[in-house]
Structure 1
Amino acid sequence: MNKIIVTGCAGFIGSHLSETLLKEGHKVIGIDNFDSYYSPAIKRDNLKNCLSDKNFLFFEKDLRDEASVHKIFSEGADIVVHLAGKAGVRPSIEAPQSYIDHNITSTRVVLDAMKKNNITKLAFASSSSVYGNNPQTPWHEDINVDNPVSPYAFSKKSCELLNYTWHHLYKFDIINMRFFTVYGPRQRPDLAIHKFTRMMFENVPLTLFGDGSSARDYTYVSDTVSGILGVISYLMSHNSVFEIVNLGNNHPVTLKELVQKISQVTGIDPKIERLPVQPGDVDITYADIRKAKRMIGYQPQVKLEDGLTNFVEWFKKKKAAL
């Protein structure tokens, strides 16, 4: 049994991870600030199962509050899973400073709190956004990522660099996990699968940016969580670690195909409204996952059709409960 700090524990991925860790018998210290990027009520609902577990300790704190973060970390932990961060590519273009504050500064605070309290192992949530519009696909971890195309991507790349500096200076063991378009029950309401499903049920035209040929490497949340568990296990059993791993699905799906598949699952024929490609968007995300397979035995299990079916069933239950 490990004692694990999970930042962003009330979010989509964080709540699924926290529940899984608790089921495996670990102690979880959760931190979340219920950021208003989307409804805090959704995140509070995400936490319900965790809050009923005696091995879960929760703090509603902002990671920029250094004194509070240092106090929480002073209780000690075996490892930190740092999932907290301000999400969203397009909003980051409108408010870049907020992403510097909530992503870069918060990560620096977490690293300092770890150092002060002798916690030396970190699993960090980075993003496929760091690859920018690199035409060399599938993307492997050694590709140069010096060309981010949004402040969000820049902030995640900056955090990866911060992590390396603390690894170098203080011998932290760190793995930067690059997530690829995670979906499933509890997915953020602003993301495509959730948004399109809601629009179909509300009979609202779907707003599609571009001609539908852009593609994303959709990864079901249970596969992402299994990757994080593999990273935790690797870090707990190895020293002198600094690695970057892709946690994707290795199977890009075009926007046009995604809409067709959601339509098949919902049984709704959607109306389509086409808009120009948005600044900061990339043409494709495509994970080379050979390193993750080799290092942590990572192997995605959930096919898109099955994942979409699970998501739509969850969505309908939530809709019926309102």
Structure 2
Amino acid sequence: MPILVTGAAGFIGSHVCKALLDRGDEVVGIDNLNDYYDPALKDARLARLTGKPGFTFRKIDIADEQAMDGLRGEGIVKVVHLAAQAGVRYSLENPRAYVRSNLMGHIEILELCRNLPNFEHLVYASSSSVYGGNKKVPFSEEDRVDHPVSLYAATKKADELMSHTYSHLYGIPQTGLRFFTVYGPWGRPDMAYWLFTEAILKGKPIRVFNQGEMWRDFTYIDDIVDGIVAALDKPPASSVLHRVYNIGNSRPEHLGRFIDTLEKLLGLPAERQYEGMQAGDVEKTFADTTAMERDFGFKPRVTIEDGLARFVDWYRSEWKGGANSA
């Protein structure tokens, strides 16, 4: 019975598809292949999956009701919902894209799950951004999250509320995962680690916000995928059918140390251009992953040094150093 993965051409989605296929699952992947960033990267991710036994891809916008209804006959029993309009800063420029993809799209996923006859479990992407400007660290699932500081964060909190309602009304088993700054090979070019790497290699300055006084709970892609798959395999078994978990490294890194590590790996200095805090941004993220560890045995394995080294190797050899060089 196939597993539906939305955002299959995305960073996390493509890695999840590969992990599921490698263990023998059937996967139906969907993505609208939009141009928020270079579609060539999305095509390259898909190329790694195309031809693998058990993989089917369809170009579908999750907010398209008719297209989503067409998936009802696929025999889908589980869904990993990762498609979304990403990026905190872009939500300041194009808020309607977030309403369409993150709100309307999430509703269409819930409606699909509600109408699948043998449905077992929906795992969906939330975000650490729901914690807003919370000062108490580490961030716990028990903390209040009703003061988002960006529209992106507000849409992710709204998704959690909609999922809770659907689990209550229709008995749909669901697990929401609040991702903390995911990074690694085949990542997103709008993320700091990619932007910094590209700029340092070109000898251009990097923008360092909040005068460098930033901490992020960077979480390597392989650890994230392990957590997603573990959660997918273990639907809620109690009367509470909707759960939300932090999934992070639980070890915040100072932005200065992060840049130092990149400089060492690249063998080049970074020209740091210090600026104030950007609208919608937060100073620190820090995941309390106690619940994820307890319920799924989640334990991040990859350090920031190893994770960045793997990204730099990929960027130089497979992305910029190979057929995708520009």
TM over 0.5: yes
Instruction: Please report how far the alpha carbon of residue 17 of structure 1 lies from its aligned counterpart in structure 2 after TM superposition.
Output: 0.6
Instruction: Please report how far the alpha carbon of residue 73 of structure 1 lies from its aligned counterpart in structure 2 after TM superposition.
Output: 3.0
The residue that corresponds to 1:286 in the other structure is 286
Q: Secondary structure at the match of 1:234?
A: coil
The answer to whether the 8 Å contact 2:113/2:172 transfers is: no
The answer to whether the 8 Å contact 1:183/1:218 transfers is: yes
Instruction: Please report how far the alpha carbon of residue 241 of structure 1 lies from its aligned counterpart in structure 2 after TM superposition.
Output: 2.4
User: Which residues of 2 match residues 1-322 of structure 1 at below 5 A?
Assistant: 2-118=1-117, 119-235=119-235, 240-317=240-317, 318-321=319-322, 322=325
Q: What is the alpha-carbon distance in structure 2 between the residues aligned to residue 236 and residue 31 of structure 1?
A: 25
Instruction: Please report how far the alpha carbon of residue 209 of structure 1 lies from its aligned counterpart in structure 2 after TM superposition.
Output: 1.1
Q: Secondary structure at the match of 1:5?
A: strand
Q: What is the alpha-carbon distance in structure 2 between the residues aligned to residue 237 and residue 188 of structure 1?
A: 35
Range with bigger deviation, 294-303 or 34-43: 34-43
Q: What is the alpha-carbon distance in structure 2 between the residues aligned to residue 169 and residue 244 of structure 1?
A: 18
Corresponding letter in the other structure for 1:309: A
Q: What is the alpha-carbon distance in structure 2 between the residues aligned to residue 167 and residue 37 of structure 1?
A: 32
Where has structure 1 moved over 3 Å in runs of 4 or more?
A: 236-240
Q: What is the alpha-carbon distance in structure 1 between the residues aligned to residue 273 and residue 191 of structure 2?
A: 17
The answer to whether the 8 Å contact 1:248/1:287 transfers is: yes
Corresponding letter in the other structure for 2:86: A
Q: What is the alpha-carbon distance in structure 2 between the residues aligned to residue 283 and residue 233 of structure 1?
A: 34
Instruction: Please report how far the alpha carbon of residue 124 of structure 1 lies from its aligned counterpart in structure 2 after TM superposition.
Output: 0.6
Instruction: Please report how far the alpha carbon of residue 170 of structure 1 lies from its aligned counterpart in structure 2 after TM superposition.
Output: 0.3
Aligned length: 321
Q: What is the alpha-carbon distance in structure 1 between the residues aligned to residue 239 and residue 86 of structure 2?
A: 31
Corresponding letter in the other structure for 1:212: G
Deviations 1:46-82 (A, max 9, x none): 0112111120011001111111111113212121000
Alpha-carbon spacing, 1:81–1:239, altered in 2? closer, same or farther (3 Å): farther
Q: Secondary structure at the match of 2:288?
A: coil
Q: Secondary structure at the match of 1:142?
A: coil
Instruction: Please report how far the alpha carbon of residue 120 of structure 1 lies from its aligned counterpart in structure 2 after TM superposition.
Output: 4.5
Corresponding letter in the other structure for 1:307: G
Q: What is the alpha-carbon distance in structure 1 between the residues aligned to residue 116 and residue 17 of structure 2?
A: 22
Q: What is the alpha-carbon distance in structure 1 between the residues aligned to residue 8 and residue 235 of structure 2?
A: 20
Gaps of 5+ in 1: none
Gaps of 5+ in 2: none
Deviations 1:214-240 (A, max 9, x none): 110000000000000110111187775
The answer to whether the 8 Å contact 2:77/2:116 transfers is: no
Deviations 1:87-124 (A, max 9, x none): 01011012222211110100001111111223342001
Deviations 1:266-319 (A, max 9, x none): 111111111221000001000000000001000000011000100000000111
Deviations 1:9-64 (A, max 9, x none): 11000001100100000000000001211011110100112111120011001111
Range with bigger deviation, 44-53 or 161-170: 44-53
Corresponding letter in the other structure for 2:127: S
Q: What is the alpha-carbon distance in structure 1 between the residues aligned to residue 286 and residue 73 of structure 2?
A: 39
The answer to whether the 8 Å contact 2:205/2:270 transfers is: yes
Corresponding letter in the other structure for 2:278: Q
Q: Secondary structure at the match of 1:144?
A: coil
Q: Secondary structure at the match of 2:175?
A: strand
Corresponding letter in the other structure for 2:292: A
TM-score, structure 1 normalization: 0.97
Over the aligned positions, Cα root-mean-square deviation in angstroms equals: 1.2
The answer to whether the 8 Å contact 1:220/1:307 transfers is: yes
